[in-house]
Amino acid sequence: MSDEQNNPNIFLWVLRGLTSAFLLGYLVNIYLAMYVGEFYPSGNLVEDLLGVVFLIIFGLAYYLMWIRKEILTGTVFILWYAALWPAEIMVGGETFKDSPIPGILILIIGILFLVYRFGTRKNHDND
């Protein structure tokens, strides 16, 4: 293993910081929905299960990020965001007012993880 693989550069640390900030916001949002707004559990089993499933998938990607599996991390974050749209439409139905716009940050971070990994692989192959 090269020294670069053991010591990630500043770009990877920025991605980790942004993802950690998003996770913190995600957890605060869940807390506010559960305890302050009393929206959770909502009585809609599908909505409640989707919230838990999305949190687990996000947690998996977050774990993969810290064990340096950038390709898997990027892929899971992109799939997480892609799954938000049909889930939001299914749960919202005709009253679809909310959109997963805040999740765009995670989509971009997922793409940047892939760019980072393929960029470091290309640079490593050129050496």
What are 65-102's pLDDT values in tens digits?
Answer: 889 888 999 999 999 888 888 887 777 666 666 666 77
- Is 30 within 8 Å of 55 (Cβ atoms)? yes
Judge whether 72 lies within some domain. Answer: yes
More confident residue, 51 or 126: 51
Judge whether 89 lies within some domain: yes
Q: 3-state DSSP: the chain helix, strand, coil percent, rounded to 5?
A: 85, 0, 15
Identity (one letter) of the amino acid at 115?
Answer: V
In the prediction, which pLDDT does 72 show? 93
The answer to whether position 113 is within a domain reads yes
Task: Note whether residue 1 is domain-resident.
Answer: no
Element (DSSP H or E) covering residue 58: helix 45-66
pLDDT band for position 124 (50/70/90)?
low
- Domain of 120, in residue numbers: 7-126
In a domain, 39, yes or no: yes
Does residue 80 fall inside a structural domain? yes
Q: With contact defined as beta carbons under 8 Å apart, do 45 and 85 qualify?
A: no
pLDDT at 2 over 60: no
Tokens of 1: 């293993």
Prediction pTM value? 0.75
C-alpha–C-alpha distance, residues 50 and 68, integer Å = 27
The tokens describing 123, both together, are 């640079």
40 found inside a domain: yes
Residue 2 lies in a domain: no
Give the chain's domain count: 1
Nearest alpha-carbon partner for 23 in 113, 106, 120, 124: 106
